[in-house]
Structure 1
Amino acid sequence: MNNSLINRSLQKGISYIEYRKLIKELLTKGISTGGNHSNDFLNYSKLNDKRMDRLDKTLKISEETQSSINNLKNDFTFLVIAEGWCGDAAQIVPVLNKITESSPKINMKIVLRDENEELMNQYLTNGSKSIPKILIIDNNNKVINSWGPRPSIATKMVLDYKEQHGNLDADFKKNLQIWYNKDKGTNTQKELVKLLKAS
């Protein structure tokens, strides 16, 4: 992996607060992040902005997660590729933010997918630019692991539905959001903590 690309991406990366602010500012102009300014993407962004507002207020880090991150020996950075219109990102990025808020050893930088094509193309999921994608980076700015775009249970739901129905329709997307709401970030926490502990 090209280390200078990671360094450049980290320099361009913004904090979670800046990311939320950017989305809200764009929404006041009637547009979403990214290159697609259709009404659909605008509506997804509005919905996701409300989701993230709610998650910021209600999300809790589990005792297990807190205990694990308290025992981390090394420092890490989450370099997150996301967009405001992405439903999975709206559910996952607030969880990452809570994890980073709970540990001085973890930092987070967010870059937008459509503005960082070179980086995104290094971390495709089955050939597609699926987001969010989380790169776990060590002190030497080396990518030691990547995760995403969804927790394994949600990934299985997607694969099973595609196998049965060919594509993901509005019904499925609604059911996936219901699953995320019930899960409350638990699986995302478990999977990321496991990767951090292994690093």
Structure 2
Amino acid sequence: MSIAAEQVITDEIIDEAYTYEEYRNMIDELLEEDKTTGDNHSKAMIHYTKMNVQRMSRWDKRVDINDSLIDLLENMDAEWVWLVITEAWCGDAAQNIPAIVKMANETDKIDIRFILRDQNLDIMDEYLTNGGRSIPKLICLDAETLEEVGTWGPRPEVAQKKAMEWKEDESISKKEWAKKLHKWYAKNRNQELQKEFEQLISEWQQ
């Protein structure tokens, strides 16, 4: 972690961050007012947010954590905070966060919290992806010192590679590549995500 990141991720940031339940409730309350997170409350952004609530609700019910990953989580020695940078309108966040939450819930050694990107650009700008503010971004922190242990995001590596290929293909519209990406998520059923986290958790504990 850079010195700047060490200064911006404080105990106060963690204490004020949302739990998953608080994050979901906040989104529901905003939608009741025809709003979403951030400053853009256009019909399109509201539509994306409503779709994402459906995605998260579906994954909340359907995600099954693999036995090998459960075993790894249940036998952790380290204690971590997983700080996730996100926004309600982000499709990738909706596809990945429920599974990440279920992983964290398999152990009492991980406290998972959520902050909004556009309200925390000083933190976001320490964790850019190819120069962009891509989300979700998970920062694994030592629970006692808040020292950075590792990061993940914004997508499983396989999905990220495919998304970049589709994005650069001029014959595929933005709408088309987004559709292809969400189709990949549905078919993969969080397996690549779990595979990555099994490897990362093992590495982060060393």
Choose which of 143, 146, 169 in structure 2 pairs with 1:164: 169
- State the match for 1:126 in structure 2: 130
User: Conserved in 1, the CA contact under 8 Å of 2:139 and 2:150?
Assistant: yes
Distance 1:119 1:9 in 2: 10
Choose which of 90, 106, 112 in structure 2 pairs with 1:108: 112
Q: Give 4+ residue runs of structure 1 displaced > 6 Å after superposition.
A: none
Scaled by the length of structure 2, what TM-score is found? 0.92
Gap runs ≥5 in structure 2:
none
Shift of 1:11: 2.3
Alignment of 1:184-199 (within 5 A): 184-199=189-204
Choose which of 140, 151, 156 in structure 2 pairs with 1:151: 156
Scaled by the length of structure 1, what TM-score is found? 0.95
Give the counterpart letter for 1:122 in structure 2.
E
Worse overlay, 29-38 or 15-24: 29-38
Distance 1:148 1:47 in 2: 21
Shift of 1:6: 1.1
Q: In the superposition, relative to structure 1, how do residues 47 and 186 fare at CA in structure 2: closer, same or farther (>3 Å)? A: same
Secondary structure of the corresponding residue to residue 122 of structure 1 = coil
Distance 2:93 2:60 in 1: 13
Secondary structure of the corresponding residue to residue 60 of structure 1 = coil
User: Conserved in 1, the CA contact under 8 Å of 2:63 and 2:189?
Assistant: yes
User: What percentage of residue pairs aligned between the two structures are identical?
Assistant: 36
Does 2:97 match 1:72?
A: no
Aligned length: 199
Give the counterpart letter for 1:195 in structure 2.
L
Shift of 1:164: 2.2
Gap runs ≥5 in structure 1:
none
Secondary structure of the corresponding residue to residue 165 of structure 1 = coil
Worse overlay, 74-83 or 162-171: 162-171
Shift of 1:165: 2.0
Distance 2:51 2:23 in 1: 16
User: Conserved in 1, the CA contact under 8 Å of 2:79 and 2:109?
Assistant: yes
Distance 1:70 1:131 in 2: 27
